Amino acid sequence: MSDRCYVATRKGLFTVDRGATKWSISRAAFVGDNVTLAMCDPRNGYLYAALNHGHYGIKVHRSTDNAETWPEIATPTYPPLPEGYTLKPNPFSGKPLEWALKLIWSLVPGGADEPGVLWCGTMPGGLFKSENNGETWELNRALWDHPRREEWGPNGAEYPGIHSICIHPRDSKHITVGVSTGGVWITKDGGKSWDLTGKGMRAEYTPPEAAYEPIAQDVHCLVQCETNPDVFWVQHHNGIFRSTDAAGTWSEITDVKPSVFGFAVAVHPKAPDTAWFVPSMKDEKRCPIDGRVVVNRTRDGGKTFETLRRGLPQEHAYDLVYRHGLDVDETGDRLVFGSTTGSLWISEDAGDSWQTVSSNLPPIYAVRFAKS
């Protein structure tokens, strides 16, 4: 059970600890700086923070002393353009496709049998691997050079990107990534080759003939169950999808109140039929329905949902929760989520009730429990 979580915000990284009576902020790091992501590596306890300085670009910092100090480490960088290579035009904007780091959008530890391995997803779509705890990074060329990668499109941001990386808990070479916008991609050989998957996903924002094109799917967040890794959940731009065959095929979950729109999803590590979502008004509004913050939970694989609201604001709340803004601990009992308006809530009863940790933080991009 986790007694600590990390909160990455527009103006710093905050450590939140469970005290005798309540959760509270115990430490602030990078105050004033834009921390876009945090990651805890359960294999060695190392912590990672991705920063996006307005002037100075993207940086990665690592703490090996429980968030006391944060020296800078290597930032993933794209290799030089090959001689004579001409960047294709972005099919949406007509501008040349990008070949330089724009954002670190996902950062995960490799498998338990691969100490030191980290994976990092970025905008404009490069997947990077480190084999030495982030001292150096290498672009995964098989995915970057895949001819269909250039069909990836933008999302709410200007560039496509990899925001979700799921390492199979029993096979570190079996990796599934979510792309916005570009569907779900799988490697079973550690990244030497990649296949596009996503049969059954449906897009509402394309001409109807292309609605079921796997590459057109705007996956907002992809998660995999720890103890039953054949089960995946996706919060998609226009719906909720579930796979029970290791992301091969997907079933759409419809008729979910108050909404199927959102960014974040978390799956119970031991109960694949249990997942949590933070619904919002679709897609051009992006705020809670009727000003009420709620969490949706299913415990039966999406057949039914409970809308949980005890302890959450139920009037004039306009909090949006981004894709990395929700997390569940290794027991499945504790959840944390944070919003664009700087509210942070924690539950110790699987979402039945919530306590407010703060309503005054900077805009929250990511929350992560410390895991061991």
Token output for 40: 């805890």
Cβ at position 81, least distance to another protein in Å? 8
228-257: contacts with another protein (CB under 8 A): none
For residue 367, give every residue at least 6 positions away whose Cβ sits within 8 Å of its Cβ, in sequence order, or none. 5, 6, 7, 8, 38, 324, 325, 326, 327, 336, 337, 338, 344
Distance CA 306, CA 285 (A): 23
Of positions 22, 24, 26, 53, contacts another protein by CB under 8 A: 53
User: If binding means CB under 8 A, how many residues of this protein chain bind another protein?
Assistant: 15
Q: Does 97 bind another protein (CB under 8 A)?
A: no
Distance CA 249, CA 96 (A): 33
Cβ at position 133, least distance to another protein in Å? 18
Of positions 87, 100, 112, 210, contacts another protein by CB under 8 A: 100
| Single-letter amino acid, residue 68 | E
Of positions 3, 72, 171, 245, contacts another protein by CB under 8 A: 72
Q: What is the CA radius of gyration of the chain?
A: 19
Token output for 182: 């570009």
Strand partners for 261: 280
* Nearer CB in complex with another protein: 99/212: 99
* Nearer CB in complex with another protein: 103/265: 103
Q: Does 318 bind another protein (CB under 8 A)?
A: no
For residue 228, give every residue at least 6 positions away whose Cβ sits within 8 Å of its Cβ, in sequence order, or none. 272
* Nearer CB in complex with another protein: 78/318: 78
Tell me which stretch binds another protein (CB under 8 A): 50-58, 128-136, 171-179, 241-249: 50-58
Of positions 20, 56, 208, 209, contacts another protein by CB under 8 A: 56
Q: Does 85 bind another protein (CB under 8 A)?
A: no
Q: Does 57 bind another protein (CB under 8 A)?
A: yes
Cβ at position 60, least distance to another protein in Å? 11
Which helix (H) or strand (E) covers residue 196, if one does? strand 195-197
Q: Does 71 bind another protein (CB under 8 A)?
A: no
Q: Rounded to 10 degrees, what is the CA torsion of 285, 290, 292, 296?
A: -70
For residue 303, give every residue at least 6 positions away whose Cβ sits within 8 Å of its Cβ, in sequence order, or none. none
* Nearer CB in complex with another protein: 75/181: 75
Distance CA 51, CA 37 (A): 7
Q: Does 310 bind another protein (CB under 8 A)?
A: no
| Single-letter amino acid, residue 264 | A
Q: Does 55 bind another protein (CB under 8 A)?
A: yes
Of positions 101, 184, 225, 293, contacts another protein by CB under 8 A: 101
Cβ at position 156, least distance to another protein in Å? 20
Cβ at position 78, least distance to another protein in Å? 6
Tell me which stretch binds another protein (CB under 8 A): 89-97, 99-107, 190-198, 272-280: 99-107
Q: Does 96 bind another protein (CB under 8 A)?
A: no
Distance CA 356, CA 102 (A): 33
User: What is the number of alpha carbons within 13 Å of residue 371 lying toward its C-beta?
Assistant: 20
Distance CA 134, CA 291 (A): 41
Cβ at position 74, least distance to another protein in Å? 9
* Nearer CB in complex with another protein: 100/210: 100
Token output for 96: 């040349």
163 conformational bin, left if phi > 0, alpha if psi -120 to 50, beta if neither: alpha
Tell me which stretch binds another protein (CB under 8 A): 93-101, 111-119, 142-150, 278-286: 93-101
Distance CA 226, CA 348 (A): 20
For the residues of 100-152, what is the DSSP string, one character each? S--EEEEEEE--TTSTT-EEEEEETS-EEEESSTTSS-EE-HHHHT-GGGGG-
Q: Does 54 bind another protein (CB under 8 A)?
A: yes
121-180: contacts with another protein (CB under 8 A): none
Q: Which residues bind another protein (CB under 8 A)?
A: 53-57, 59, 72, 75, 77-78, 80-81, 99-101
